[in-house]
Structure 1
Amino acid sequence: MSRVFGPTRNRNSSHAGPRLMLRLALGGCLLALCGCAAFSRNTAEHQKVVNGRLLTQQGVDALQRGDLERAESLLAKAKKSCPVDVHTRSQYAEALHQKGDVDGAIAEMQQAIRISGDDPGLMVRLGRIYYQAGRLPEADQQAQQAIAKYPRYAPAWLLAGDLAERKSDWQDAEACYLRCASYAEDLPPVHIRLARTQRNLSQPDRSLASLTRAERAYPQGEAPVELLVEQGLTCQAAGRNEAACEYLIAAMEKGAPSPELMSRLAQCELAAGRIARAEWALRQTLSMDPQNVRGREIAAQIPLARQRMEQTLQR
């Protein structure tokens, strides 16, 4: 009997197709389920970030309005929602600082710096918190670390200059402020500080030049009190007493008069030979501070100045 040769048929081949289809279907379902779970997780995480940013913005708005309780509450929730957000951490630190929780503010700012990878602005801000708390070694450490990493970062030099000025190290302060000014010429406060340093170094002419640069940064008539005061004190140091009086009066008209400024005014009026005006300023000084040392010195000088004036008129 002849045998027909041809392809051999596997007895299981008739079941291979349906099984393969079943496996593919199951695999597809599994992938779909995994994909849905991943999508769900990603969506939830994204929503947490969105909610955190919204809470942060609301917290910052409350902080700017001075509503510290609400600001702290909102920013605490924002931090919990997104703990690695640098902006949220730093603003939460600001809220704590303004509420008087210095240690809490420092801890949060340290975390913000770590997360940011040593952002220079945050390093200097932490230094300022230390500075305001009187913790000068820690403030100096922040300033020096920022300068070491970012040597052209002007605010770090400004902080270093303020620390030197706090110690009355006028030469070091001047050097720091000059470096700051070289990196940020449009920073008016540095020129005011530089002028104050130069005045204390008995360099009134250089101080006046620095004040001229600072004055250019403000529209006419909008100079801040700090600038007007320094202009008055520098003019006094340069022997320009009448100009000093004008600046000191302008400063007190813009801000609240103080025994310090009023006694300076009395001193300048007396040096300018305007005895009646000096007496008025002296009365204002002693009414605010009866024990004012400069005021008492001027009170002793006025009779002598009046006597000299009478002798001059008799000649």
Structure 2
Amino acid sequence: MKPPAIRFCFALAAMVVLTLGGCRAIGRFGESRQSIAARSLSGKGFQAIHEGRWELAESLFTDALEVSKSDDRAHWGLAEAYWKRGEKELAVQQMEQAVRLSAGDPKFVERLGRMYLDVGRAADADANSLLALQSKRDSPEAWRLRGDCLHAAGKNEEALAAYHRALALQPDYSEVQIKAAEIYLTDKRYDRLLATLDRLQDGVGIEAAPAKVDMLQGIAMRQLGRSDEALRCFVRASAKNPDDAAPHLEIAALALEGGEIEVARDSLASATRLGTMSYDQGQRILQLQDVQQRMASEPRPSSTPGVQLR
């Protein structure tokens, strides 16, 4: 081949290389631009969630996935939007996509595990709790999920150990403190229950603590014979959650123990008026009403040290 021909071949080869490289660069640029657009829409979706605008958030996440189906955050956000409106199976499917696309982001793995636990897929939840901890052992959320899985399996001591790991990482983790207190109640370790919830209230304040805290404290105090303190806890729980029949039932039971039949009757009436309650609560109302009626038909002592509402 003559020198001019050789030079022409080299020039042609160089043009081909540059052309192919340019196509790849354009492809990368186009994909990047799609990714940026999808991330922007996802960001707006999470802002809408923060503002409580769930329908808008769902629309934004859907738009993000139309731009780029590989946006893991959009799948996560859409999962949360579906979960919010009760479409739990759809939420799980979207969260599974988020985990896959993120290559197992521990935060996504933990969230998917919690969804699995809520829909009754205990084995999947348990597996995800272990995966989350393998990736990030210093995650209090992952330790909480592990504790919840163990608690659901009836392994209370192991669950407590997991909750303690979570609290060692985040001492003010109120959801975990409440979970630990529930186990202490089951195990009749009332002093530990009260100490745990006292720490919670020290952190957030008595009035800011959830009604569940007051209920657990009240039940423990009742078991320890501290009736007046128990009553105050139940009254406070009722004020925080007026639609819950449980505090009224506890007040009724406490009143019957103190011989205060009228207080018990009023509390049972309040619980009944709320209408919506669990089967167990309905059964307890019937039991307490039976006790109240039997006590009302019996002669009362002239002076009974009853429970006083205050």
Q: TM-score, normalised by structure 1?
A: 0.77
Change (3 A) 1:39 1:254: same
Contact 1:282–1:299 at 8 Å: present in 2 too? no
Residue by residue, what CA displacement relative to the aligned partner does 1:241-284 show, whole Å, maximum 9, x if unpaired?
11111111111111124332211011223335555433422332
Whole-angstrom CA distance in 1 between matches of 2:260 and 2:28: 78
Change (3 A) 1:258 1:220: closer
Whole-angstrom CA distance in 1 between matches of 2:175 and 2:216: 11
Contact 1:123–1:142 at 8 Å: present in 2 too? yes
User: What SS does structure 2 have at the residue aligned with 1:72?
Assistant: helix
Does residue 135 (structure 1) correspond to residue 128 (structure 2)? The answer is no
User: What SS does structure 2 have at the residue aligned with 1:84?
Assistant: coil
Question: Partner of 2:296 in structure 1?
Answer: 303
Which of the residues 151, 154, 161 maps onto 2:147? 161
Q: How does 1:1-150 map to 2 (within 5 A)?
A: 40-65=26-51, 67-150=53-136
Does residue 242 (structure 1) correspond to residue 228 (structure 2)? The answer is yes
Contact 1:242–1:272 at 8 Å: present in 2 too? no
Question: Partner of 1:229 in structure 2?
Answer: 215
Runs of 5+ in structure 2 lacking a partner? Answer: 276-281, 306-310
Q: How does 1:185-264 map to 2 (within 5 A)?
A: 185-219=171-205, 221-264=207-250
Whole-angstrom CA distance in 1 between matches of 2:302 and 2:179: 38
Whole-angstrom CA distance in 2 between matches of 1:270 and 1:299: 7
Does residue 281 (structure 1) correspond to residue 274 (structure 2)? The answer is no
Shift of 1:226: 2.0
Q: CA-atom RMSD, angstroms?
A: 3.4
In structure 2, give the amino acid aligned to 1:303. Answer: A
Return 172-181 or 288-297, whichever deviates more.
Answer: 288-297
Shift of 1:234: 1.9
Contact 2:259–2:304 at 8 Å: present in 1 too? no
Return 66-75 or 103-112, whichever deviates more.
Answer: 66-75
Work out the number of aligned pairs and report it.
Answer: 296
> Which protein has greater RCO, CA pairs closer than 8 Å, 6+ apart?
2
Question: Partner of 1:293 in structure 2?
Answer: 286
Runs of 5+ in structure 1 lacking a partner? Answer: 1-11
In structure 1, give the amino acid aligned to 2:256. Answer: L
Change (3 A) 1:79 1:249: same
Q: TM-score, normalised by structure 2?
A: 0.79
